[in-house]
Chain A
Amino acid sequence: MKLKKIRIDKVALAFIAPAFLLYTIFIVLPTVSSIYYSFTSWDGLSPNIKFIGLANYKEIFTSVRFRNALRNTLVLTVFISVFENAIALALALLVDSVKWGEKIFRSTFYIPVLLSGIVSGFIWKIIYNYNFGILNTLLENIGREGWKQDWIGNPKLALIMVGIVLVWKGAGYYMVIYLASLQSVSTDIIEASVVDGAGPFQRFKSITLPLISSAFTINFTLSLINGLKVFDQISVMTDGGPGFSTETIVYLLYKSGFNEGRQGYGTAIGIVLLFLIIILNMVQQKFLKRKETQL
């Protein structure tokens, strides 16, 4: 576009302005305010706000509870990202091979995505219920009473069970992307490789995998970021419990700020979380981009 320079900038500005203004005012400004609050001991109520410097951050880095939340967050996020993508890919491959009703299957696996987070939490809360839940009742009915568990009351299991709900809810979305990616692979290449004598696994490895790798990159990034922000299901299913076994950083942030009257401290946790997201994102981008180009 070789228009006069000054007019371009004005035009570009005009185009960008509304989005820029809205985004800055309603997202960026509050976030920056949060930074301010993170240096205070504000309880969220009183008009007096006391500046306490880095005290909140010091507490975060020495807090056992925060370390627990960090561990839970990382475990949950990795679990969700890995399984969402694995299942999504597997489903995509499956649906791709189906001879009839492919479009229908594509829609059906997407249905859980259409639910709201809290409703998915409610549904699975009933499924996981120890005494009346579908899962345990099913196990009883097939004679496997010994396998019954207190799915979300057992601190060793609760986090993973929450993760399963999120994987169930999110896989459909990623599947759609993988599916479309698969279908964009030109059949000529496939045919050529068949002629060359390549078996199905060989084809998968050398052709399919590289071509869906960019889909994989973005999917993994998205699922990672979303995994770090999980809130609704934890709130509805476990409230961070039993004990602290499903308390993630986001949840700890929310609890500190609202339930426990420590808005300043909670905000500091939020800032730390933000940094965590940024770092993880950068690391993961570098790693995946390299893999992508390698393939």
Chain B
Amino acid sequence: MERKSNHRIKPSGVIVFVLTLALTLLFLLPVFFAFISAFKTNGEILKNPVALPEAWGFQNFRDLFEKSDFLTATIHSVILTVVSEILIILVVPMSAYALARRENKFTGLVYTFFLAGMMIPFQLYMFPLFKELKMFHLFGTLGGTIFVYVAGAVPFGTLLYHSFLKGIPLEIEEAAHIDGCTPFQTFWKVTFPLLGPCTASMLVLNGLSIWNDFLLPYLSMPINRAKTITVEVYSFVGQFTARWDIVFAGTVISIVPALIIFILLQKYFVKGITAGASKG
């Protein structure tokens, strides 16, 4: 529903617009700072943080790729995010569907079991997790890290899909069933397409959290290669020196895909999380 609501705070639209604009600029000032810093030298950044760069050079970006294996880091970030997302979509909605459609003691318990995971902080189980991964020969591999991300997406994902599913009428599914579809087919062919907004939310939220994640890749990715974009950026703030110019160049590279995907999926994303929120 895209209806313009009538909650007016001030009668004059202009004041509201100007106010919003001002707030936006203020709000984005730190991001603006990060952006222009990507084109400055280290000294420039510290001397004059908000000034525009003297010369809009791409030297920092070049340094970034030279001084670290940033290309590998980027490839890793992309693989981690994309593969995790695919697996998440394969695994989570289906499970939430079963939990939402077959309501009994068992599924109720599983639902609570899954949701409880939202409260467990990563730092609590990270060390035993690493030992476990080592046992399965998954430590230090992309695969192991992906599995952890997919597992981590189960709690919130189940919550979102479960709520969203409640809002989808059963008639369509029943019709499909009568037509001879197996539950599997019913889900993937009939219900899943209707979950579009929810899936979009999941993709955006999980993608963002994996793309930006720090601690897990930092501690457990392959030891002889660059890890992910976020970790590489972090590595330029060393114990003794800090190359802020490179840090922000890396930040710009990191934020661009996120921004693009967000803008593209915006419409669906909003629908998805609100539906999940309102049925909470």
Distance, CA A265 to CA B129, complexed state (A) = 17
Give every chain A residue within 8 A of B16 (Cβ-Cβ). Answer: 94, 97-99
- Given contacts A19-B114, A94-B16, whether A26 and B151 have CB atoms under 8 Å apart is yes
Give every chain A residue within 8 A of B240 (Cβ-Cβ). Answer: none
A157 lies within 8 A of chain B by Cβ: no
B47 lies within 8 A of chain A by Cβ: yes
B177→A1 contact, CB < 8 A: yes
The residue on B at minimum CB distance from A270 is B124
Distance, CA A212 to CA B105, complexed state (A) = 31
Greatest chain A CB density within 10 A among B1, B5, B247, B262 is at B5
The interface stretch among B17-25, B52-60, B64-72 is B17-25
A56 lies within 8 A of chain B by Cβ: no
Interface readout for B139-158 with A: 1 if CB under 8 Å, 0 if not? 00000000110111011001
Distance, CA A219 to CA B212, complexed state (A) = 21
B121→A91 contact, CB < 8 A: no
Interface readout for A6-35 with B: 1 if CB under 8 Å, 0 if not? 001101100111111011011111110110
A260 lies within 8 A of chain B by Cβ: no
In residues 70-121 of chain A, which contact B (Cβ within 8 Å)?
91, 93-101, 103, 105-120
Give every chain B residue within 8 A of A28 (Cβ-Cβ). Answer: 117
Interface readout for B223-236 with A: 1 if CB under 8 Å, 0 if not? 00000001001100
B41 lies within 8 A of chain A by Cβ: no
Q: Determine how close the nearest CB of chain A comes to the CB of B55; give it in whole angstroms.
A: 21
Distance, CA A154 to CA B106, complexed state (A) = 53
Q: Determine how close the nearest CB of chain A comes to the CB of B51; give it in whole angstroms.
A: 11
Give every chain B residue within 8 A of A8 (Cβ-Cβ). Answer: 102
In residues 265-280 of chain A, which contact B (Cβ within 8 Å)?
267, 270-271, 273-274, 277-278
Distance, CA A139 to CA B99, complexed state (A) = 56
A91→B95 contact, CB < 8 A: no
A219→B277 contact, CB < 8 A: yes
B123 lies within 8 A of chain A by Cβ: yes
Q: Determine how close the nearest CB of chain A comes to the CB of B60; give it in whole angstroms.
A: 14
In residues 177-213 of chain A, which contact B (Cβ within 8 Å)?
177, 179-187, 190-191, 194, 200, 203-204, 208
B9→A19 contact, CB < 8 A: no
B75 lies within 8 A of chain A by Cβ: no
Give every chain A residue within 8 A of B258 (Cβ-Cβ). Answer: 114
A180→B7 contact, CB < 8 A: no
Q: Determine how close the nearest CB of chain B comes to the CB of A293; give it in whole angstroms.
A: 13
The interface stretch among A60-68, A130-138, A143-151 is A130-138
Interface readout for B14-42 with A: 1 if CB under 8 Å, 0 if not? 00110110011001101101100000000
Give every chain A residue within 8 A of B101 (Cβ-Cβ). Answer: 1
B27→A118 contact, CB < 8 A: no
B121→A99 contact, CB < 8 A: no
- Given contacts A22-B147, A107-B262, A111-B259, whether A132 and B28 have CB atoms under 8 Å apart is no
B6→A19 contact, CB < 8 A: no
Q: 6 A-B residue contacts at CB 8 Å?
A: A15-B187, A34-B128, A97-B13, A190-B7, A219-B277, A231-B215
Q: Which 7 A-B pairs have the closest CB atoms?
A: A270-B124, A116-B212, A30-B125, A33-B128, A19-B95, A15-B98, A26-B151
- Interface residues of A, Cβ cutoff 8 Å to B: 1, 3, 8-9, 11-12, 15-20, 22-23, 25-31, 33-34, 37, 44, 91, 93-101, 103, 105-120, 122-124, 126-127, 132-134, 137, 168, 176-177, 179-187, 190-191, 194, 200, 203-204, 208, 214-215, 217-219, 221, 225, 228-229, 231-232, 236, 250, 253-254, 257, 263, 267, 270-271, 273-274, 277-278, 281
- Interface residues of B, Cβ cutoff 8 Å to A: 1-10, 13, 16-17, 19-20, 23-24, 27-28, 30-31, 33-34, 45-47, 49-50, 90-92, 94-95, 97-99, 101-102, 106-107, 110, 114, 116-129, 131-132, 147-148, 150-152, 154-155, 158, 170, 173-174, 177, 183-184, 187, 208, 211-215, 230, 233-234, 237, 244, 247, 251, 254-255, 258-259, 262-263, 266, 269-271, 273-274, 276-280
Given A23-B155, A103-B266, 15 additional A-B pairs, CB 8 A: A16-B98, A16-B99, A18-B91, A18-B94, A27-B151, A30-B129, A100-B17, A114-B208, A126-B46, A132-B49, A183-B3, A187-B3, A229-B122, A270-B124, A274-B121
